């Protein structure tokens, strides 16, 4: 019998120098450096450049990258018109998927698949995703689109464009850390999708548009929004225990827990938990944080032996909520960060490209006859 690796679990299809994960010990590193160190010491800008070039940048390289990102923050007016014309009430991930694809139509370099072009387009997309997602939110709410500011960092400028108000340094830093935590994560479903598209030698915009589609689903990036739906359904902390016990008894999936690779605590969830607690403690514990604490305790007690622990999506939503971000924007914010990982992985893979083309064990009929339509039952 041929073994099938359902969900491609454990299948190694390429080498990468970017991200290492030890799922049983809850370890995640980028370029060999633990994620906790990146979160504490670095910025989204620095990690993005480090991933694109697979090395720690010098101060001069980072300053030049920062200037390049800032000079690319504006998006074409034609794209803003498309964003304004989008139907109201669409999910922002649908809007982002369309906007990313449309951006490609407006970029004269889009069909260039050489490495230099892929890198230049990546930098533009990293810069412009922020403007696009904020514009989608403003347009969907019937508000004026806010132009980017060049005196704010990537995280601060996004919050400014989203809300129209300059964030506090603490809010900017918190959001920057969230972006750092989400920037890359090895061969996850959306990065794999981006690479699969790239492996046909397709263009960067097609790679990223397909990755957005993969990230959107509730088993991947969509889980952060689903966690908030769950918290709203639970309502109050005293109902959390009964709610989650009943769900586990019915063998239903709990959103924000479980992971294909981590069979222990996802280290990103530990960093986010600390920030969620910090934010909740500022104004007395928020309901959301208390509900999550109860759910985590029960899930770890009942499912820990099976390797089911909180993942990155478990606490991220409470942090975003505290920054005043609506839950439909949690997954677009994931894309705002993961764009760096998608682009860096595509560049790395296509340096030594081979078409991705797995196979299936055929389990259908053999030697069947074609029956004319009128003779079929
Ligand atoms: N809640 C309850 N039970 C779970 C959960 C969960 N969230 N996840 C897995 N299990 C159980 C399964 O029911 C299964 O039990 P069984 O052996 O009795 O049938 C066992 O654990 C293995 O589960 P699989 O679904 O086969 O594990 P897989 O590796 O395919 O799934 C996944 C990983 C999709 C992430 C899963 O854990 C899940 O659906 N989690 C909820 C969604 C989520 O939070 N996704 C975000 C992941 S992180 C990210 O993408 C950013």
Buried b (16+ CB within 10 A) or exposed e, 321-352: bbbebebbbbbbbbbbbbbbbbbbbbbbbbee
User: In degrees, to the nearest 5, what angle opens at C-alpha 73 toward C-alphas 272 and 348?
Assistant: 65
- With a 6 Å cutoff on the Cβ, whether 311 touches ligand 1 is yes
Q: Which long-range contacts (CB under 8 A, 24 or more apart) does 360-363 make?
A: 361/2, 361/4
- Residues annotated as part of the active site: 220, 259, 313
15-33: per-residue pLDDT in tens?
999 999 999 999 999 999 9
Return d(Cα 321, Cα 357) in angstroms, integer.
Answer: 41
273: CB partners within 8 A, 6+ apart: 296, 310, 314, 315
Do 227 and 217 touch, CB atoms closer than 8 A? no
Q: Work out the percent of the chain whose per-residue pLDDT is above 70.
A: 99
| DSSP secondary structure code for residue 57 in this structure | P
The reported pLDDT for the residue numbered 345 is: 98
3-state helix, strand, coil in the chain (%, to 5): 60, 5, 35
Residue ID of nearest Cα to ligand 1 atom 19: 251
* Ligand 1: centre distance to CA 245 (Å): 17
- pTM recorded for the entire structure: 0.95
Closest CA to 357 of 105, 50, 8: 8
- Separation CA 134–CA 162 (nearest Å): 5
208-256 pLDDT, tens digit each:
999 999 999 999 999 999 999 999 999 999 999 999 999 999 999 999 9
Question: What is the DSSP-derived secondary structure letter of residue 6?
Answer: G
DSSP SS3 for 29? strand
**Ligand 1 pocket test: which of 258, 331, 336 has the largest number of ligand atoms within 8 Å of its C-beta?**
258
**Residue 32 Ramachandran class (φ > 0 left, ψ -120 to 50 alpha, else beta):** left
Does any ligand 1 atom lie closer than 6 A to the CB of residue 219? Answer: yes
Q: How many residues does the chain have?
A: 377
ipTM: 0.96
What is the distance of C-alpha 256 from the center of its chain? Answer: 13
Ligand 1 midpoint to CA 182 (Å): 19
Q: What is the pLDDT of residue 282?
A: 81
Distance 31 CA to ligand 1 centre (A): 28
Predicted pLDDT of residue 34: 98
């Amino acid at each position: 019998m041929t073994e099938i690796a359902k969900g491609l679990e454990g299948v190694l299809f390429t080498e990468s120098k970017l991200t290492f994960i030890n799922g049983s010990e809850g370890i995640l590193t980028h370029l060999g450096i633990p994620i906790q160190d990146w979160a504490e010491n670095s910025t989204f800008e620095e990690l993005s450049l480090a991933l694109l070039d697979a090395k720690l940048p010098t101060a001069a390289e980072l300053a030049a990258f920062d200037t390049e990102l800032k000079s690319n923050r504006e998006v074409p007016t034609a794209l803003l018109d498309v964003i304004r014309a989008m139907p109201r009430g669409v999910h922002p991930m649908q809007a982002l998927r369309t906007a990313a694809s449309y951006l490609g139509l407006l970029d004269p370099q889009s069909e260039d698949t050489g490495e230099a072009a892929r890198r230049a387009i990546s930098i533009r997309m990293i810069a412009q995703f922020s403007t696009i997602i904020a514009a989608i939110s403003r347009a969907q709410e019937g508000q004026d689109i806010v132009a980017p500011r060049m005196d704010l960092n990537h995280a601060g400028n996004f919050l400014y464009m989203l809300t129209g108000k300059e964030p506090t340094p603490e809010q900017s830093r918190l959001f920057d850390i969230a972006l750092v935590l989400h920037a890359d994560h090895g061969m996850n479903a959306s990065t794999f999708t981006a690479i699969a598209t790239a492996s046909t030698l397709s263009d960067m915009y097609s790679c990223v548009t397909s990755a957005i589609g993969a990230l959107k689903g509730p088993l991947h990036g969509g889980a952060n929004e689903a966690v908030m739906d769950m918290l709203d359904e639970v309502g109050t902390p005293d109902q959390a225990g009964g709610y989650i016990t009943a769900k586990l008894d019915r063998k239903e999936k709990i959103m924000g827990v479980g992971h294909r690779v981590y069979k222990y605590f996802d280290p990103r969830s530990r960093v986010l938990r600390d920030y969620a607690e910090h934010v909740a403690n500022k104004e007395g514990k928020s309901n959301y944080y208390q509900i999550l604490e109860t759910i985590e305790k029960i899930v770890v007690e009942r499912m820990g032996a099976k390797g089911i622990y909180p993942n990155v999506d478990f606490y991220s939503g409470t942090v975003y909520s505290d920054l005043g971000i609506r839950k439909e924007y949690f997954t677009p914010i994931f894309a705002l960060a993961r764009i760096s990982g998608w682009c860096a992985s595509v560049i790395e893979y296509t340096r030594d490209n081979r078409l991705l083309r797995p196979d299936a064990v055929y389990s259908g009929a053999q030697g069947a006859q074609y029956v004319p339509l009128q003779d079929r039952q």
